A and B are shown apart, each in its own frame.
Chain A
Amino acid sequence: MTARHVGPLLEIKGIKTHFFTQDGVVKAVDDVTFEIGHGQTLGVVGESGCGKSITSLSVMRLIERPGKIVAGEIRLNGENLLDKTDADMRDIRGDQVSMIFQEPMTSLNPVFTCGDQIAEAVQQHTAVSRREAMDRAVEMLRVVGIPDPKRRAAEHPHQLSGGMRQRVMIAMALSTDPDLLIADEPTTALDVTIQAQILEVMRDLREKNRMAIMLITHDLGVVAEMADEVVVMYAGKVVERADVRTVFGSPHHPYTQGLLLSIPRLDERRERLEVIKGTVPSPLNLPEGCLFKRRCPHRMRVCDTAPPYQEVGSGHFSRCWLTPAGEAPDVGADAEGEEAQHAAEQLTVGAR
């Protein structure tokens, strides 16, 4: 491999992934920027439909028509993946960057054995014999905690439970020692005890392999347990980003605050969970200005203008008009038009 790149493992800069549908352009991912350091775990959270999966598929360059990455850079070890040929990209997929998916029940091919499917990934990226690849597959099944891995390797996916299948997926993804594992809601489809086991396996392997993880989830509990840093997405945009302690301790964006209030907690007795009012706006009918304004309890006049992405604390960014202290901004809550736009630009420049 090339000499180790200094700087983050993955840098996503201003990517826009749009779907050109018959009803109009769906801006599924719209100007998303974040980095993941070597060995770091980044949690990507947000309600269903906010663009988490499309962001991860963009990194894999697995976006299909009518979708297209229309702008931005995705740098892995400093090299822009969007400049790679399809053949180069295939060498990266499943080798340097692996992905596991939400649906363990359907993500494995029903007609091939689990062992075959793992061995196939190994053989695709390393010059080993079939036998060696198969040995590696069995070894990986053992590593992810599947009892009797030799027998399981010879079984077809339908003979395994959902949790076991997700372990097989992890074994497959990690069989090539990737630098980055993208896990798109890896535990969402599993029941709670199995969820905990899968997270345990991932944590364990992260330490062993010094691998970075992009962990996509809508479950803040999972984030609290796993992530170093957090990116909160809303309607295709990053609305808040900080280390995990800051996000849980002093969230800035009203959307993040709303998400936190909706987590059930054992130490407090609430009559019922607060849920963020309203629904995610239709991607074909996004509001002017702040995309969250229809649901926001702090909404001001100025929110009709797109809010700045400002640094509200050290390494803590938020896409909101509220001041770092959470108050109405100096420009005046009533600012409109050019005045507001200008203020937004000023504040954003500071953040980038």
Chain B
Amino acid sequence: MATYIIRRTLQSIPILFGVALVSFAIIQLAPGSPIDRFRTPNVRPETLENLIRLYGLDQPVHIQFVNWITAFVQFWNVEAWGYSLVDGRSVRDTLVDRMPATLLLGGTALLVTIIFAVPIGILAAVRQYSWADKAITTFATIGYAIPSFLLGLYIAYLGTVVFRGLFPGFGMVSLPGTEGRGTPLDVAWHMVLPVTSLAIQQIAGWSRYVRAKMLEVLNQDYVRTAKAKGLSAAKVTYKHALRNALIPVITLFGLTLPGLLSGAVITETIFSWPGLGLLGVTAVTQRDYPVVLAFVMVGGFGVVMGNLLADILYGVVDPRIKY
């Protein structure tokens, strides 16, 4: 097991290198250049030349890549990821600052998702074609089909306008000067709408998946064997079927993890949630290249870690997997 984890982790390195290469290429191919923001009518050409040399943009592309990647792996170094073109702060510190807000939001949404989606999916499968199943299917289809920006806006509208400000529609804490600002309760109160908005979409997908897997498993021969033993319906469903149905759900877990690291870009933007997602969007609109690249890399890192964790979890819960 330990050797497997180590081997699997080492295998992630070339994948991460690929992610870095693609991220770098995309930035290179995108129109515009990092010094465009300094290009105003009264800037002298020599100043621009100096900037180009300062940032190493006069070097050939592959040298630029090597420079960037060697700097980037030194995540322990405050300077390594460069400085924001907008506020001049260390990019690494900015990302580290934003990380907790994103983890809090995404982690809570994931927890809420699991708490709701698993029982809902089981119910829909066990009572296939009942009114409950049909209601769940309808909800899931709508939740899945609605674009997240629309759902987010609608939930923001519901919480702030329809319910007259029952829940705050932006930020993570109350405005300065408000009593109890920044207490856990204050933060939780601010989380209600964004968590709801994220969770609804995820519950839609997850509950469908759990339902499908549960139906598949309920038709397996070993479920018939369990019934033939004289076990109760509850034991058949929750002991024999559920254990098997939840194994493939790990895949979804792995797919959800990157979102926990890089943030839910759209939801964070709508609710002005000060996480990585919002940071990324802002950086893109401001052409803050160092921040954008770091943001993309953190996202890519999340995907690779999600896959790695899913693979390891499979090994833990599925006795058929051998290393």
Interface residues of A (CB under 8 A from B): 60, 62, 90-95, 98-99, 101, 103, 106-112, 120-121, 124-125, 156, 158, 169, 172
Contact = CB atoms under 8 A, between A and B. Distances in A.
B43 to A, nearest CB: 67
Interface stretch (B76-84, B156-164, B227-235, B262-270): B227-235
Given A158-B319, A158-B320, A110 B229 contact: no
Nearest to B217: A109
B319 A110 contact: yes
Interface in B225-254: 225-232, 240, 243-244, 247
Interface residues of B, number: 20
Contacts of B247: 111
A91 B230 contact: yes
Contacts of A107: 221-222, 224-225
B250 to A, nearest CB: 13
Nearest to B240: A109
Given A156-B319, A158-B320, A101 B225 contact: yes
Contact of A95 (B220, B224, B230, B317): B230
B58 interface: no
Given A111-B318, A111-B319, A93 B244 contact: no
Which of B231, B240, B318, B319 has the largest number of chain A CB atoms within 10 A? Answer: B319
Interface of B: 220-222, 224-232, 240, 243-244, 247, 317-320
A109 B229 contact: no
A182 B227 CA distance: 14
B320 A93 contact: no
A91 B229 CA distance: 9
Given A60-B228, A92-B230, A101 B244 contact: no
Nearest to B247: A111
Which of A62, A90, A108, A169 has the largest number of chain B CB atoms within 10 A? Answer: A90
Nearest to B231: A124
A94 B222 contact: no
Contact of B230 (A90, A112, A158, A169): A90
Given A101-B225, A106-B220, A107-B221, A90 B319 contact: no
Contacts of B226: 109
Nearest to B128: A65
Given A109-B243, A111-B319, 18 more contacts: A62-B228, A90-B230, A90-B232, A94-B228, A98-B228, A101-B221, A101-B225, A106-B220, A107-B222, A109-B226, A110-B318, A110-B320, A111-B243, A111-B244, A112-B240, A120-B231, A124-B230, A156-B319
Contact of A109 (B230, B244, B317): B244
A88 B265 CA distance: 56
A158 B319 CA distance: 9
A293 to B, nearest CB: 35
Nearest to B129: A65
Contacts of A103: 221
A107 B225 CA distance: 6
Contacts of B221: 101, 103, 106-107
B227 A172 contact: no
Contacts of A98: 228
A169 B225 contact: yes
B229 A93 contact: yes
Which of B221, B229, B318 has the largest number of chain A CB atoms within 10 A? Answer: B229
18 contacts: A62-B224, A90-B231, A90-B232, A95-B230, A99-B228, A106-B222, A107-B221, A107-B222, A107-B224, A108-B225, A110-B318, A111-B243, A111-B318, A120-B231, A156-B319, A156-B320, A158-B320, A169-B225
A91 B40 CA distance: 86
Contacts of A101: 221, 224-225
A89 to B, nearest CB: 8
A94 B230 contact: yes
Contacts of A108: 222, 225
Instruction: Please name the 4 residue pairs, one residue from A and one from B, whose CB atoms are nearest each other, closest first.
Output: A94-B230, A93-B230, A94-B229, A106-B221
A237 B226 CA distance: 29
Contact of B229 (A106, A111, A121): A121
Contacts of B243: 109, 111-112
Nearest to A103: B221
Contacts of A95: 230
Contacts of B227: 62, 93
Contacts of A110: 222, 244, 318-320
Which of B227, B247, B320 has the largest number of chain A CB atoms within 10 A? Answer: B227
A108 B240 CA distance: 10
A70 B226 CA distance: 25
A112 B230 CA distance: 17
A124 B227 CA distance: 11
B236 to A, nearest CB: 10
A60 B226 CA distance: 12
Contacts of A106: 220-222
A62 B226 CA distance: 11
B54 to A, nearest CB: 60
Contacts of A111: 243-244, 247, 317-319
A172 B320 contact: no
A95 B229 CA distance: 8
B229 A120 contact: yes
A125 B229 CA distance: 9
A335 B276 CA distance: 88
Contact of B222 (A90, A99, A109, A121): A109
A21 to B, nearest CB: 14
Contacts of B244: 109-111
Contacts of B240: 109, 112
A110 B317 CA distance: 11
A112 B232 CA distance: 18
A241 to B, nearest CB: 26
Nearest to A124: B230
A125 B230 contact: yes
A95 B228 CA distance: 9
